[in-house]
């Protein structure tokens, strides 16, 4: 059996096989299939299936690489993602991650830097259909797992796990605002004056905080792999490409920008992780924020600003996806509606800031 050819973003599979073998991956010559894992909105994620030749050889690995087309500055840093996985993997820190295997910075292998990690089996909850796979009781338990995992990320001793200097907590939000505004300028496909006004409003109300923790940067329900038996637990947290040291409430705010409560009718055009949280059993967005506050002791009374900031950031991400879709550089399905969610998110952010007075 020959490994499948013509997988977008991989190039010649023979080069990949040779690199895996040269870098000590057991059974690399037994690679039989490469499959794009559906759901990646930014970096591309592939499952590698092997015919294990020896006991202990991997049956499956996962490969992560940047998206096709133009990659924005400072985005999609494979070495950064590999570093945080290496730091958290195998420690006693209660933040489960896939075990990293190997990092490749040679773009000649598949056309871009990439890394390989162990495959973790688990359920991804993104759509209403995904939500039908769990009971209302399990939905409540998953909500608890989500809050506990976010709290655990923000309690990681970064020096103890080998992440000193991983970021600069001071001025984190101000830098994030500038960074994402710059990303918008580089990928915007249209004029949206309300975006410019939103940036100005966010800048005017920047919170003053010196606290800095490890932040995931894209924390949401479908970036967790869940196992259900004997009770729901998090098998792995994935997609660490935006991780750094910064304001932990920014992680909470972004998670809540995805969250959909029962009765919410606003739609983002493409189905994102929040759709499933409107199902029976899930905590409400306010309940989730309250549970996080209980676990961490943090004051979340000003979380509205951070949710608005999360909407701003997500709007930039969707505009980048929309730009790549127009350039025919997206791989997978569901990207044709990304652009319609951008003005929705900008409007939502303005309303949240209005509510703050």
Instruction: Give CA–CA dist 151/32, Å, rounded.
Output: 39
Average pLDDT over residues 300-319: 95
Average pLDDT, the chain: 89
Model confidence band, residue 6 (pLDDT cutoffs 50, 70, 90): confident
Contacts of 200 (CB under 8 A, 6+ apart): none
CA 72 to CA 329: how far, in whole Å? 14
Residues 6+ apart with CB under 8 A from 122: 224, 225, 226, 227, 235, 236
Residue 269 pLDDT = 54
Number of H helices, E strands in the chain: 10, 9
- Given a cut of 80, whether residue 268 has pLDDT beyond it is no
Q: Does residue 334 register a pLDDT over 70?
A: no
Query: CA 250 to CA 118: how far, in whole Å?
Result: 29
Q: Which pLDDT score is estimated for 75?
A: 56
What gap in Å lies between CA 65 and CA 115, rounded to an integer?
7
Whether 337 shows a pLDDT value over 80: the answer reads: no
Question: Taking the CA of residue 311 as centre, how many other CA atoms within 13 Å lie in the half-sphere pointing to its CB?
Answer: 27
Mapping DSSP to helix (H, G, I), strand (E, B) and coil, where does residue 7 land?
A: coil
Domains of the chain: 13-118 (3.30.200.20), 128-355 (3.90.1200.10)
Residue 39 has pLDDT above 50, yes or no: no
How far apart are the C-alpha atoms of 169 and 71, rounded to whole Å?
A: 25
146 touches 221 (CB < 8 A): yes
User: Torsions phi, psi of 103, nearest 5?
Assistant: -115, 135
Is the pLDDT at 331 greater than 70, yes or no? Answer: no
* pLDDT above 50 for 212: yes
175 contacts 313 by C-beta, under 8 angstroms? no
Cross-strand bridge partners of residue 61 = 48, 118
pLDDT of residue 7: 84
- pTM for the complete prediction? 0.91
């Amino acid at each position: 059996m020959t490994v499948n050819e013509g997988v977008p973003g991989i190039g010649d599979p023979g080069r990949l096989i040779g690199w895996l073998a040269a870098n000590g991956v057991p059974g690399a010559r037994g690679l039989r299939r490469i499959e794009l894992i559906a759901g990646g909105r930014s970096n591309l994620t592939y499952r590698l299936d092997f015919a294990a030749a020896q006991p202990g050889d991997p049956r499956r690995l996962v490969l992560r690489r940047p998206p096709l087309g133009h990659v924005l500055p400072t985005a999609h840093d494979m070495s950064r993602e590999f570093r945080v996985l290496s730091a958290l993997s195998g420690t006693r820190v209660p933040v489960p991650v896939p075990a990293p295997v190997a990092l490749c910075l040679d773009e000649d292998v598949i056309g871009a830097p990439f890394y390989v990690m162990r495959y973790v089996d688990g359920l991804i909850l993104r759509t209403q259909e995904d939500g039908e796979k769990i009971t209302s009781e399990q939905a409540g338990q998953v909500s608890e797992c989500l809050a506990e995992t976010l709290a655990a990320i923000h309690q990681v001793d970064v020096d103890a796990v080998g992440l000193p200097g991983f970021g600069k907590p001071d001025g984190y939000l101000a830098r994030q605002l500038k960074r994402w505004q710059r990303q918008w300028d580089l990928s915007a496909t249209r004029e949206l004056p309300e975006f410019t006004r939103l940036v100005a409003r966010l800048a005017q109300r920047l919170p003053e905080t010196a606290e800095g923790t490890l932040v995931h940067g894209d924390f949401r329900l479908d970036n967790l792999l869940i196992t259900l038996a004997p009770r729901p637990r998090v098998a792995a947290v994935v997609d660490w490409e935006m991780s750094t040291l910064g304001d932990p409430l920014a992680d909470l705010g972004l998670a809540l920008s995805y969250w959909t409560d029962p009765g919410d009718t606003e739609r983002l055009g493409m189905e994102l992780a929040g759709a499933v949280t409107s199902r029976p059993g899930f905590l409400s967005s306010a309940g989730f924020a309250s549970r996080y506050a209980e676990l961490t002791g943090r004051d979340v009374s000003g979380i509205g600003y951070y949710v608005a900031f999360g909407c701003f950031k997500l709007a930039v991400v969707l505009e980048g996806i929309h730009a790549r879709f127009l350039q025919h550089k997206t791989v997978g399905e569901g990207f044709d509606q990304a652009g319609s969610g951008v003005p929705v998110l900008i409007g939502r952010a303005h309303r949240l800031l209005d509510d703050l007075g």
